A and B are shown apart, each in its own frame.
Chain A
Amino acid sequence: MGFIQLNVLNNAASNVALGIDLGTTNSLGAMWKDGRPIVLHPEGDSGYVPSAIHFTEKGAAIVGRQARELAIVDPAHTLFSIKRFMGRGLAQVEADARNVPCALSETDNGVVQFEMRGRKYTPQELSALILMKVHDQACKALGGIEVTKVVITVPAYFDDSQRQATRDAARIAGLDVLRIINEPTAASLAYGLDQKKHGKVAVYDLGGGTFDVSILSIEDGVFQVLSTNGDTHLGGDDFDRTLVDVAKKELASIVRPSTLDDRAFLQLLRLAAERCKIELSSDPEAYMHVSLPESGVQWRRKFTRHEFDALTAHLIERTLHSCRRAMADAKLGVEEIDEVVLVGGSTRTPAVRSRVEKFFGRRPHTELNPDEVVALGAAVQAHVLMGGTRELLLMDVTPLSLGLETMGGAVAKVIERNSTIPCQATEGFTTYVDNQTGVDLHVVQGERELAKDCRSLGRFKLSGIPPMPAGMPRIAVRFHIDANGLLTVTAREESSGKSARVEITPMNGLTDSEVEAMLNAAFKNARDDFDARRAADLATEIGTMVRASERGLAHAADALDRETRRDIEDAVAKARSTSAASREPQKLQKVRDELERATLPLAALLMDQVAKSALSGKKLDEV
């Protein structure tokens, strides 16, 4: 690993950063190495971390492939598709909530919480667990080197709340986020880099939970996004749901009504539906199987690809309408698109491919692995951000218009959608009554006319305006959308030059102190995990030592004086009882050390005997 600069104190890399694709279904890490981005996976492992979390009886979190497997035996304690809840309140996730096998609640600021094994988890904390797992895998692949700087991808159509939630998740995971970039843009980086392409490219990204389409112009290393569109609640999960709905209807006469509402049962149906769907991508027909041994239910249903296509046609149609909007915003006709790139697992569905091909009138590119391009692109961007090259320039856009709620509940646009980021706008405000020192702003994102139909980003309270007659203060409020697509708001009273304070009540977001507390809790959990592993290792070691000591005593007791023998017997008894009762590494370490000290004379004696018997031609194990 000669290319990595290491800080010798903590084995941390200082000159490299990871790219992480934090997907609804699968997550993956990559890094720039030897002139190209590579996927990071430990030996004998693909590196994909299924974005699934299982909670054991004791409340420990198991993340990834193992969690996915445990979902089959214990669906009630396994969570999927957490990304669909990021930056959202309960009211906006009704359909998704029905797929969750546990109770949901909401914090004061409208952050969804999942109740698992007696604890509540926000989507940010759950995503942090996934990020930690991906990070851990990546660092393992690098031979244990600690890389804490990361670039994380999000769907292009993610709004500010969803991006903030992603950044908070990374903070909770203890990662240093260099940049949040858009998934289709990342894909285009990996693609354009590989092919040294020029021209207009459409990236169609249909994953597990989200759909994005971005139209880019690629030229001499400049990746300029012209427009983007999508749906943060449309993906493979919805394709699965069409099969689940059929199954539910047909199972209604077979299982008890209560079973049909049982969250764990629904989870089971969903997994069965997904398996059937994936088979239909390669076979013209496939079966969906559901078995409930406890109630003797064995259900099997054949789906033809034709039937599946009919069930899902409206979903594909929705993605195409997003494509139309994106094309209109880019002011391009389909005939002007030079290349179409498919990203995301759901683009393996044959109907998706053929509909996209028909829409754009050209065969889409599929030679890049649709599961890897996003992480690879994030690694390219990480390389740029670490100062690796100035050859590449990425110019992305903000997906949604930013606006302020006016007196009548309408929206006054401040920044138009598809503006190149970073971008800014300054708006002037004044006061309505004498000596008014504060102004409230309601900031929204979206294209609808009324504020109530847009996404609320929260209330911004300007305070500290110097007391003046009504209408006198000239407050300039600056809205800045940074290269991550994240909004910051600052304000100044122009006549006094004083900067006003901007207090934000995030909508569906965490406050800084909440993130801080979760970060500490996550570290505590990580330490607990570490302690548990160490305790387990020590207990095993003590067990081996106890057995060896007992065997030794049986052989050589006569050769030891009584006091030494008593010492050893006491130490063995204590070690045995402690390792049976305690899981505290410190305690275990102490009895282990005591046992070692007490048995030193025995060990010396045995060594002596071994030496002698060796001379007399006996084998070791006959001593």
Chain B
Amino acid sequence: MKHCPDCGAKLETPLGCGACGALFSPESTLTPFEVLGLEPSYELGAAELKKRLLRVSRVVHPDYFGSADAATRERAERASALVNEAHATLASDRARADWLVRWLGGPAESEKREMPKRFLLDVLEWNETLELARGASPGSAERAALVELRRVLRAQTDEVLATLAARLSPLPERASARLAEARADLNALRYLDNTLAQIDAVELESLRPN
């Protein structure tokens, strides 16, 4: 569906028509890319994505159906939830890659959970640094070690993200080996993200007033 069945205008999204205000409830499940009127690809600029989000939101957002009947308002609610869900998936490098890997028939997260080999020793060390920093006061050596760990992990994250991007662009063949490699990268990112989140939590917690 590229044109509105009601008024014939070109559609920004299969969920509704900006020209005549009609809302559609597509039968089949739409991909996040379809929802936002984009071609599937890993490379996706933040500005372009935001532009699409706003374009499509201006067509389906419930705020523009404030005086419509209850059924239309409900349709706008659902359409808008789909748009926001699609945006959340595509806006995150991890979620977008994860979705593409599954879409192309690659392994799901649950099928390939093992810890990346190169992290086996590292993870133990990270946890120790975190543990020591938890009780430490700001400015202590333990906290300085935490800040250093964050720097290292951020650099590693950037590296893995770059590899992931290279594996997924252009998009690999369906069920190809590159998908399994991409999944391994995503697993590595899970460990890195998790540890980085814990570091942030320790810092935030130490600033909490009693």
Contact = CB atoms under 8 A, between A and B. Distances in A.
A193 interface: no
Contacts, number: 70
B81 A422 contact: yes
B14 interface: no
Interface string B101-116: 0000000000000000
A422 B58 CA distance: 14
B22 to A, nearest CB: 15
Contacts of B62: 422, 482-483
Interface in A437-457: none
Interface in B132-168: none
Interface in A179-197: 179
A419 B88 contact: yes
Given A422-B84, A423-B81, A387 B66 contact: yes
Nearest to A314: B209
A324 B209 contact: no
A386 B84 contact: no
Contact of A393 (B61, B78, B209): B61
B80 interface: yes
A168 B210 CA distance: 36
Nearest to A220: B54
B64 interface: yes
B87 interface: yes
Contact of B207 (A178, A321, A419, A420): A321
A325 B204 contact: yes
A395 B81 CA distance: 11
Nearest to B197: A328
B28 interface: no
A469 to B, nearest CB: 25
B125 interface: no
Given A314-B209, A318-B209, A424 B67 contact: no
Given A314-B210, A324-B204, A420-B88, A394 B63 contact: yes
A387 B67 contact: yes
Interface string A416-443: 0001111110000000000000000000
Contact of A483 (B67, B77, B88): B77
Interface in B175-210: 200, 204, 207-210
Interface residues of B, number: 24
B57 interface: yes
A385 B84 contact: no
Contact of B80 (A318, A381, A390, A483): A483
A67 to B, nearest CB: 33
Contacts of A320: 209
B43 interface: no
Nearest to A179: B66
A577 to B, nearest CB: 54
Q: Which of B57, B204, B208, B209 has the most CB of A within 10 A?
A: B209
B87 A420 contact: yes
Contacts of B84: 419-423
B128 interface: no
Interface string A479-508: 010110000000000000000000000000
Contacts of B85: 423-424
Contact of B81 (A17, A314, A385, A480): A480
Contact of B66 (A222, A385, A422): A385
A393 B67 contact: no
Interface in A384-418: 384-387, 390, 393-395
Interface string A566-578: 0000000000000
Contacts of A222: 54
A395 B57 contact: yes
Contacts of A381: 63
Q: Top 8 closest A-B pairs, CB basis? A: A385-B66, A317-B209, A424-B81, A422-B81, A420-B84, A422-B80, A483-B62, A422-B77
Given A321-B209, A482-B62, A483-B77, 4 more contacts: A317-B209, A422-B78, A424-B81, A424-B82
21 contacts: A17-B66, A178-B66, A314-B209, A314-B210, A318-B209, A328-B200, A328-B204, A384-B66, A385-B63, A385-B66, A385-B67, A387-B66, A390-B58, A393-B57, A393-B63, A395-B57, A422-B77, A422-B81, A423-B84, A483-B63, A483-B80
